[in-house]
Structure 1
Amino acid sequence: MYILQESLFSFEELLKIESKDRLPIFFSVLDLRPYAKELRSRSPRGADGHCREGILRALLAAPLERIQTFTGLHHRLSTDLRFRYQCGLPLDREAPSIATLSRVFAELTKKELAKQLFEDLVNRCKQDGIIDGNHVAIDSASIHAYEKKQPKRKSEQTGNANWGAKFDSFGNKVTWFGYKLHLAVDTKSELPLALEVTPAHVNDGEMAPSLIEKVAVDKRT
């Protein structure tokens, strides 16, 4: 059993590990039961009979497995029994439908449970001495979206996906349609301390003050 410090790899390090070994390491440090409980309505398995903790695991595992859509996640759960088992979903029934995955994700977003999980993990890392937060770097990453494109002015008003551009480390201009993930990262552990998601056109400098303020508030508390 991996202890917390040995298990908290960076995203890039996790991707280097073979797929069959990656998820057990990832899930070994996550107790998702409190968050899955918040997703339950009348029964532990919900109206559709699927385990909410299993679906939550699948949604969290998707980025590690380079799965970008609910359709792709449903296909992987349907065809890869090892993956389904590692997510904690039963093998003796059909995988959760695309509609079920979408519905649980919407509820997860509405209740801000992913944000709560992130903040709980950051606090846990601080308590265990993995993160000290004395030196912080600000950066951003692109998030591609498959939403219907809107006029730029309307997108700026609604906060939906928009076109963004930035220069890579070689000075090449990169454009994409979607969102931007703004991060405040602890330079020692290379783990995130705070984050914000905005439409892709938002400048990094606009978000830096709020990220720094979040880190400062967390240090004071």
Structure 2
Amino acid sequence: MSSVHQESLFTLEDLLNLSPQDTYGFFFNTLDIRPFLKVVSKKFVLGAPTQLNYTAMLRSLFIRVIERIPTIKDLRKRLKQSVEFNLNCGFTGSDRIPSEATYSRLIQKLQGSAVFEQTQEALVRLAFQEGFLDASTVAMDATHVESRDRQPEKKKVDVEELPTEIPKKKRGRKSKAEREKWLQEQLEIEANRPLFEKKVEEQLPCTFTQLRGQIPLAPEWGVKKNSAGKNVFWYGFKAHLLVDCKSQYILTALLSSGSINDGKMAIPLLKMLAEHHPELEVKQVLADAGYDLAPIYKQVEGMGAQALIDYNRRKESLVEGKDKYFRPVCKEGNSYRYDSCDAKYNTLKYTQPKECTSCPFNDGTCQKVFKIKRDSDPRKYTVPARGSDGYYDLYKKRTAVERVHAYLKEYFQLNNMRHRGTKAQVDFYFSCLTYTASKLTVDRWNQTLERSAKKVS
């Protein structure tokens, strides 16, 4: 008699719902905190001995994210009240509970280091080597993160400081000399602007290190359209993620001010992926209409991949002889069908619509095949072509990045960033790194279950 074994899947929710001792054990078997210890520990043997248990403090900060403990104050309260929790974090009976100021100094040390970024890279590399991700199709998007900083008050205008007479503008055209002077002033103003206030194409020649150093991190007012098409305002930051669509691993993650446009953070995310993970062969990059900018297509093509970005018309009218997906149309208005892409000549091939075979007005003059160069406009002509089934099937995978945003906010404290100013970046990295380590833990556990099931059968 044969027995049927149903595959047992272990999820992130299952890991978080396990008993604390099991959860922490599995988690810290995956996450190596020794690099963090090198950053925060005492650098020299000389001087007063360190009385703090840095290992337990670091473990407690990661456990705070897993247990969804809102503040450091609540974390200390839990450590004092629960002996079991205290021991699970790694504190011994002789250790005193660190103060909030001590935790703040520890976080300050972590803030100025690259340990989060390096550990995230190491975990992604491990996941790739163990076969849990291939990153052939990736998606990027941003989500809003509110800040705990006080919202700036509106500036009060002093009436006495206002000029009594407003100078009148000179009417009519500027003279040639005045226009040249004005153009020169505009060029100087544009040249002196910060990089992320310039056009996106200015980022292309820069390295990721150069871009990283100029990303604005101060909390600012941001605006984003919700699912109902209404503007939603918040004061704080934006979390930008590049995610593997199949496995939902975070490949690269960056934090910026809330006022930064989503499209201006695409090139840093892509350059970070190319520089830190050259072993990953990306084939498709998916994004919504906020990323529909020509320099982003150029950056993706430079990585040897194809960009599938929802088209943003920006008040453009329809092209004559083309439908809304830029496919040629016949005399009766039927759209030609996307057939294939010729990689050698970089052209899209469209074939005659099915309706033309039975059309009574078809006198044989309708063109049977159209070939369009992708270089004519990479935004309009993608691979697969817009409007085709292949395009829709691939573009549906973009929702993976939205699911990761939801996981981070619901389970990993992304919507509960307690630190102010640029120190909030540490909270962001704690959330992303805890998610990645938990994801790798779950995948390893599922692999173990599958091997056990095969042995039993």
Q: Which amino acid aligns with 2:52?
A: H
Aligned pair in 2 of structure 1 residues 112, 19: CA closer, same or farther (>3 Å)? farther
Letter of the 2:108 counterpart = A
Q: Deviations over 1:82-103 (max 9, x none)?
A: 3332221224433111011111
Task: Give the superposition deviation at 1:132.
Answer: 1.1
Counterpart for residue 258 of structure 2: 200
* 2:217/2:255 contact within 8 Å kept: no
Q: Which moved more, 1:141-150 or 1:25-34?
A: 141-150
Conserved 8 A contact 1:78-1:94: no
CA distance in 2, matches of 1:202, 1:189: 28
Match of 2:113 in 1: 111
Q: Say whether the 8 Å CA contact 1:178–1:200 is kept in structure 2.
A: yes
Could you tell me which residue of structure 1 aligns to residue 272 of structure 2?
A: 214
Cα contact 2:237–2:256 (8 A) shared by 1: yes
Any stretches of 5+ residues in structure 1 without a counterpart?
1-5
CA contact (8 A) 1:138 1:184 kept: yes
1:31 aligns with 2:42: no
Which residue does 1:17 correspond to in 2?
17
**3-state SS of the aligned residue for 1:184?**
strand
User: Radius of gyration: which is bigger?
Assistant: 2
Give the counterpart letter for 1:17 in structure 2.
N
TM-score (norm 2): 0.41
Q: Per the alignment, do residues 158 and 208 of structure 1 end up closer, same or farther by CA in structure 2, a change over 3 Å counting?
A: closer
Label 1:158 to 1:206 Cα distance change in 2 as closer, same or farther (>3 A). Answer: closer
The alpha-carbon deviation at position 105 of structure 1 amounts to 0.7
Distance change >3 Å, CA 83–CA 168, structure 1 → 2: farther
Which of residues 240, 248, 251 is equivalent to 1:182?
240
**TM-score normalised over the length of structure 1:** 0.78
SS of the residue 1:220 aligns to = coil
Corresponding position of 2:317: none
Q: Which range moves more in the overlay, 110-119 or 13-22?
A: 13-22
Superposed, 1:56-205 pairs within 5 Å as 56-150=58-152, 159-169=217-227, 171=229, 173-205=231-263
Listed one character per residue, the Cα deviations across residues 169-215 of structure 1 (whole Å, up to 9, x for unaligned) are 45565443322211000111101000111112222221112212222
User: Could you tell me how far 1:16 is from its partner in structure 2?
Assistant: 5.1
> Tell me, what secondary structure is at the counterpart of 1:165?
strand
Give distance in 2, aligned partners of 1:197 and 1:115.
12
Q: Number of aligned pairs? A: 209
Aligned-residue CA RMSD in angstroms? 3.1
CA-to-aligned-CA distance 1:67-93 (integer Å, 9 cap, x gap): 343223222322233333222122443
Gaps of 5+ in 2: 1-8, 155-196, 198-214, 280-457
Q: Which has the higher contact order (CA 8 A, sep 6+)?
A: 2
**What is the rounded CA distance, in whole Å, between the counterparts of 1:159 and 1:140 in structure 2?**
15
Identity of aligned residues (%): 32
Q: Given the superposition, is the C-alpha separation of residues 19 and 189 from structure 1 closer, same or farther in structure 2, using an over 3 Å criterion?
A: same
Output the CA distance in 1 between the equivalents of 2:234 and 2:70. Answer: 15
